[in-house]
Amino acid sequence: MKIGLVQLNPIIGDFGKNCAKICEWAGRAKKEGCSLVIFPELAISGYPPQDLLERKGFLEAGEQALSDLIGDIPDLDVLLGCVERRGGERGKPLYNSAVVVRNKKIVFRARKRLLPSYDVFDETRYFEPGSPSEIYELEGHHFCVTVCEDAWRHEVKDYEVKPVADVFTTAVRKGLTIDGIINISASPFQIDKEVVRRSVFREICEKHTTPFLYCNQVGGQDSLLFDGRSLAMDRTGKIIAQAMGFEEDLVVINTSDWKGDIPGAMQVAPEAAVYDALVMGVRDYVTKCGFSSAVLGLSGGIDSALTAAIAVDALGAENVLGVALPSPYSSADSLEDAKELAANLGCNFEVIPIEDLFTGFKKSLAPLFKDKDEDLTEQNIQARIRGNLLMALSNKFGHLLLATGNKSEMAVGYCTLYGDMSGGLAVISDVPKQLVYELSHYVNRNGIKIPHRTITKAPTAELKPGQRDQDDLPPYEILDQILELHLEGGEGVEKIVDRGFEKPMVRDILRRVRLNEYKRKQAPMGLKVTTKAFGYGRRFPNVQNFQQ
C-alpha cells in the first residue's frame, strides 16, 4: 500500500484556498497510486488560528468547508486535521482533531490529547483533551493516529497521559498489530529543532518497533515559521523518506518496503536552515498580508545588508527598494557600501540625505533646548527622521517597511522607538549579532553580495562623531552569550556570573533587558528562529522590579 505525506502552506481562515490545495494534492497522491494521503494538523483552518476559534462564524465556515471537501476529494482515504465542536456543559468547546474521509464520509477520528501551553502554544485556552484513540484500519493495515504534541510526551516531562502507548495497549487487547504510527503536526521551526524531533521520533520507533510517519505544516504564519520536513522512519528509527524543507511537498511511502536509510538525512547546516526560514517567513508575511514589495533603510551596516539579501531572495530584486539616509555623521564608506550592496543584489536604490531635516528639527527645538548639551535626544531625532521618511515611502508606494534590528540590540534597547524600530516586520529581530555575521558569510558563499567592508568594519549607528556600538555595549561575542543564558536559559545574575562573566557587566545587561520591555512591546512583529523570541511566546510585564 502506498501512503502520501503532503505538507501544506495554508493561510489561516482562507478555507476555500486551503481546501482547494487539499483536493489538488490529494489528486496528485491518487495519481501516484496512494491509498492514503495525510495532511497536517488543522490543515483546513491553518495553524494557529488563536482567538478566531472563539468566533462562531469562523467555526461554522470551517464546518462548511469540511462538508464541502468531503464531497470533492478523490477516491482514496484522506487523513487531515480540523477543528471539531464538542457537546457538554463542562470543559472547552472544541477538539483539535484528526479525521479520515473515505467514500464521502468521515470514518475515523482521533482527538489531540496533549495540549501544549508553553512558549508560543496556548491550546488549553481553546481545546478539550480527547479520549484515548481507536485504531485506524485500511487495507489490512492498522495505524496509531496522533496529533503533534501527542508524540512528544517523552520530551515534555509534564504529561501523565500516554497517547501512543495507550493505542498499543488497545491493540494488544484486541489482538491486533500496529503497522505504523501517524503523527500530523504543525511544529514550528527553531535552530536545531530538527535534531530533537528526530531523536523523539526515533525513540518512539525503537520503543514500539514500529514505523513512524510524520506530516508537518510548512510556511510562515505571523512570527512562526513552519519548516515542513515531513518524514517516514522504519521500525528502527532510520529515515526512509523525507520531504523538502520550507516548501510544499509530497512524499510517497510504500508499506511493502519499510526498510531503507537516507544517510545524512536532514543534516542541513544551521545557518542554511535559518536563512531559508527567514526567506520563507518574509515571503509569506509580505504576500499573505497583501503586499508584493518591500522597502528598508540601507545604512551600510551588516544588519541592513543581511535584511536586504533576505528580502531580495524572498521577493525578487525588482520588488525591493533600499534607501540610504545619510546624516551629518554618516561616513562616505557607509554610503559607498550601501550603494555597492544594492548593485550586488540588483535591487532598487535611492539616497535621501537628512541633514537639512535634522537642522530644521534642532532649530524648532532650540528655544526649549537652550543651555542643554546635545545628547541621546539628538541621536534619536536622526533615527526618527529616517523612520518617518521610510514610512512615507511605504505609504505612498505600497511597500511593506522592513525593520533591520537584530536580537542583541532589541534585548538591551539599543534601538529607537519610532525610528529604526519602525516597520511592518522585523526580519532579524530573533537573530543574535554573532549569528548575523554567520548568515552574512552564508549569503556570500557563492560570491560577494554583502560587501567585505560591511562585514569586517566595527558596528556603529553613526548618530554622533566616532560612535561605535561597543563604546556602550560589551563585545557582541560576550553580550550574545549572556543574553542566551538569560533569555533562552532563564538564568539570573549569579548563575551567569558562575559561568565566568563579570558581575557588574551581567547586572548591567540584565538591567537593560528589564528596562526595555516597553520598547519591545511596541516593536514590529519578528520572525522566530530561536527557542525564545521576543513576542507573544515571551510574556513579561513592562512594569516590574525583579532584578535577579
Task: Output the DSSP codes for 449-516.
Answer: SS-HHHHHSPP---SSTT--GGGTS--HHHHHHHHIIIIIT---HHHHHTTT--HHHHHHHHHHHHHT
Predicted pLDDT of residue 539: 87
Predicted pLDDT of residue 260: 63
Kindly report the CATH number assigned to the domain that includes residue 212: 3.60.110.10
Q: Are residues 154 and 290 in the same domain?
A: no
Domain edge (last residue) among 198, 222, 255: 255
CB-based contacts of 116, cutoff 8 Å, min separation 6:
123, 149, 156
Query: How does pLDDT run along the chain (548 residues), one tens digit per residue?
Result: 999 999 999 999 999 999 999 999 999 999 999 999 999 999 999 999 999 999 999 999 999 999 999 999 999 999 999 999 998 778 999 999 999 999 999 999 999 999 999 899 999 999 999 999 999 999 999 999 999 999 987 666 667 889 999 999 999 999 999 999 999 999 999 998 999 999 999 999 999 999 999 999 999 999 999 999 999 999 999 999 999 999 999 999 999 877 766 655 656 789 999 999 999 999 999 999 999 999 999 999 999 999 999 999 999 999 999 999 999 888 899 999 999 999 999 999 999 999 999 999 999 999 999 999 999 999 999 999 999 999 999 999 999 999 999 999 999 999 999 999 999 999 999 999 999 999 999 999 999 999 999 999 988 766 777 777 777 889 999 999 999 999 999 999 999 999 999 999 999 999 999 999 999 999 999 999 999 999 888 888 898 888 87
- Contact criterion met (CB below 8 Å) for 284 and 221: yes
Q: Are residues 448 and 328 in the same domain?
A: yes
Kindly report the CATH number assigned to the domain that includes residue 279: 3.40.50.620
Q: Are residues 115 and 179 in the same domain?
A: yes
437 part of a folded domain: yes
- Contact criterion met (CB below 8 Å) for 278 and 527: yes
**C-alpha–C-alpha distance, residues 431 and 526, integer Å:** 10
**C-alpha–C-alpha distance, residues 149 and 222, integer Å:** 21
Q: Are residues 238 and 314 in the same domain?
A: no
458 part of a folded domain: yes
Q: Are residues 179 and 292 in the same domain?
A: no
Predicted pLDDT of residue 329: 87
**C-alpha–C-alpha distance, residues 455 and 202, integer Å:** 40
Determine the Cα angle at 78 with ends 72 and 79, to 5°.
Answer: 135
345 part of a folded domain: yes
Q: Are residues 368 and 244 in the same domain?
A: no
Helix axes of 503-515 and 476-483: crossing angle, nearest 10 degrees: 70
**C-alpha–C-alpha distance, residues 353 and 379, integer Å:** 15
Active site residues: 41, 112, 148
Predicted pLDDT of residue 156: 62
Q: Are residues 307 and 231 in the same domain?
A: no
Q: Are residues 50 and 22 in the same domain?
A: yes
**Nearest Cα residue to 386 out of 426, 412, 344, 417:** 417
Q: Are residues 243 and 284 in the same domain?
A: no
Q: What are phi and psi of 450, to 5 degrees?
A: -85, 120
Q: Are residues 249 and 278 in the same domain?
A: no
DSSP class per residue in 60-115: HHHHHHHHHHHHHS-SSEEEEEEEEE--SSSS-SEEEEEEEEETTEEEEEEE----
- Name the grid cell of 491: 538564568
509 part of a folded domain: no
Q: Containing domain of residue 238, as a range?
A: 2-255
Q: 374, exposed or middle or buried, with CB in 10 Å at 0-12, 13-18, 19+?
A: exposed
476 part of a folded domain: no
The letter for the amino acid at 176 is L
In a 13 Å sphere around the CA of 405, the CA atoms on its Cβ side amount to 31
- Contact criterion met (CB below 8 Å) for 345 and 449: yes
237 part of a folded domain: yes
- Name the grid cell of 293: 514589495
The letter for the amino acid at 39 is F
Domain edge (last residue) among 255, 284, 301: 255
Q: Are residues 47 and 158 in the same domain?
A: yes
CB-based contacts of 88, cutoff 8 Å, min separation 6:
none
Predicted pLDDT of residue 153: 77
314 part of a folded domain: yes
Position of cell 485506524?
A: 136
CA separation, residue 118 to residues 198, 296, 460 (Å): 21, 34, 37
SS3 readout for 136-175: EEECCEEEEEEEHHHHCCCCCCCCCCCHHHHHHHHHHHHC
185 part of a folded domain: yes
Domain edge (last residue) among 428, 450, 469: 469
**C-alpha–C-alpha distance, residues 512 and 514, integer Å:** 5
Domain count, the chain: 2
Q: Are residues 305 and 438 in the same domain?
A: yes
The three-state secondary structure class of 428 is: coil
